[in-house]
Each structure stands twice: as structure tokens, then as C-alpha cells.
Amino acid sequence: MRVAVVQTNPVFANVKSNLEEVCGYISREHADVFVLPELFNTGYNFIDAEEVAAFAETADGPTYQKMFSLAKDRASYICYGFAEKADRLYNSAILVGPEGLVGLYRKVHLFSREKLFFAPGDLGFPVFDLPFGKVGMMICFDWIFPESARSLALGGADLILHPSNLVLPHCPDAMITRCLENRVFAATANRVGTESRGGIVLSFIGKSEIISPRGEILHRLGDSQPGIGVADIDISLARNKQVTEFNHVMDDRRTAQYRLT
Ligand code: ACM
């Protein structure tokens, strides 16, 4: 199967142009799954919860309708991050395919000022069956908690879809370890550019990437330009959890020896 990460440079609050930017990439490239960044339609650097509320959409809102129609046109799956308006405001990701909504994920580990705007995710780390394998989602800062990727792997995910708006430098290299320790693929779609709003300046580090269960960087984009990265992956590699003849990354866990709290 072919997976693609779309690296964007969104214009804050310009949902129309941000959607057009990704529609261009998705219309020109073939992939079975496209991964887009966190909050790809609005931009990231919100000033307050009122502003988030003004841009947040329901899971079936206008951005979903656009992505659903694109998924049908391209016979592909699309995973994207957006501000979700539900009982509360969530930093969420949707996986949509030609048949409609496949899954919703709400960011469990909120980063920095996101805690002022969003409620922490309450759906756990669900895993979804696609025709070519099992996938799950995590969003950006979830990477720093190994439990996120581990929960997805324990749920059977072969491929982690990882919409991001990374500002710290460590994640692209850390995801190599996440893939190695779980023997899964991961596709991290990040953004580039700077957002300066309300006296807060954030620069995003790019380096969107696709990593294999052996920790190989199958594709990594640069740190300043938008673009798209694709890789053809053999999903069956993620079903082999054997590290050596004697070591299995799941079966060798010594859960009775671990401290969870
Ligand atoms: C992040 O979680 N957007 C850094």
C-alpha cells in the first residue's frame, strides 16, 4: 500500500485557502492513505477559547464534507486534524474514506496552551480496520508518552497516523524509537512556517516522515517547505513482532514487573 504525508504551511483562519492547499496535493498524487497535519484547516496558534469556538466544527461539518468528497473522488483514505465542536472543544483527528467516516480520535495529551482551549481526549486510542491493514491515530505531542503508540500497537495497529504541528525538535527522531519498540509503521504529517498571534510566536519544524517497523526513515521532508512525501509499504512487516529468534516485543513484556502509576 502507499501512504502519503502532506506537509502544509496554513494561513491562520483562512480555512478556504488551507483546504485548497491540501486538495491540490491530494488531487495530484496517488496514495491509499493521506495524512494531513493537526488543525490543518484553521492553523494552530489560537488566542483564547472563544476564538477556537468560532472556528471549531462538528465531526460532520464543512471540512468533513470536503474531505469526504475528496476521499470518494480519489478512492483514498484521508486522516486530518481539526478543532472539534462537541459537548466540549477537542483537538481531534478524523479518518474518512470513500465509504464515509471511519474513525474519530481526540488528542489525549494536550500541549502547552492547548490546555487553555481544549478538553483532553476521552475516546482512548481506537484502532480501525482498513482494506489493507489496521490503523490508529495519535496527535502531535502524544508522541512524548510512549503509552500512546503502545496502546495503538496493543490494539493491533499496523500503521500509526500522526497529524502534527510540532514545535519541539525531538519528535521526528523519537518516532523512530516508537516504531522500533512497537514494530509498527508511522506517518507523521507536520507543518512548516511561523504563527505570531497575541504576542506568542510559534515556529513549526516540518520534517514530516514515514517510518518503518525496523526504524528506517522511508521518507522525510525538509524543515521549511510545504510538500508531500510518499512511501510504498509492506504492512505485513508490522505483523512480525520478533526482534530476534528469542525476543518478541509484545510477548516478552513483563507486565507484573512494571510500575504503571
Ligand atoms: C503539539 O502537540 N502541537 C506540539
Residue with cell 481539526: 82
Q: Find out whether the beta carbon of 18 lies less than 6 Å from any atom of ligand 1.
A: no
Residues 6 or more apart in contact with residue 182 via CB below 8 angstroms: 149, 150, 152, 153, 213, 249
Q: By 3-state DSSP, what share of the chain in percent is helix, strand and coil, each rounded to 5?
A: 30, 35, 40
% of the chain at pLDDT higher than 90: 100
Give 29-32 contacts, CB < 8 A, sequence gap 24+. 29/4, 29/228, 29/230, 30/2, 30/74, 30/76, 31/2, 31/3, 31/4, 31/76, 31/230, 32/1, 32/2, 32/3, 32/76, 32/77, 32/130, 32/132
- Mean pLDDT (the chain, rounded): 98
Residue 173 pLDDT: 98
Q: Report the residue among 92, 137, 141, 202 best suited for mutation to probe ligand 1: largest number of ligand atoms under 8 A from its CB.
A: 141
- For residue 13, the CA-to-ligand 1 centroid distance in Å is 18
Residue with cell 500497537: 153
pTM of the shown model: 0.98
Q: Find out whether the beta carbon of 195 lies less than 6 Å from any atom of ligand 1.
A: no
For 179-214, how does the pLDDT look when each residue is reduced to its tens digit (9 = 90+)?
A: 999 999 999 999 999 999 999 999 999 999 999 999
Atom of ligand 1 nearest to the CA of 111: 2
% of the chain at pLDDT higher than 70: 100
For 125-172, how does the pLDDT look when each residue is reduced to its tens digit (9 = 90+)?
A: 999 999 999 999 999 999 999 999 999 999 999 999 999 999 999 999
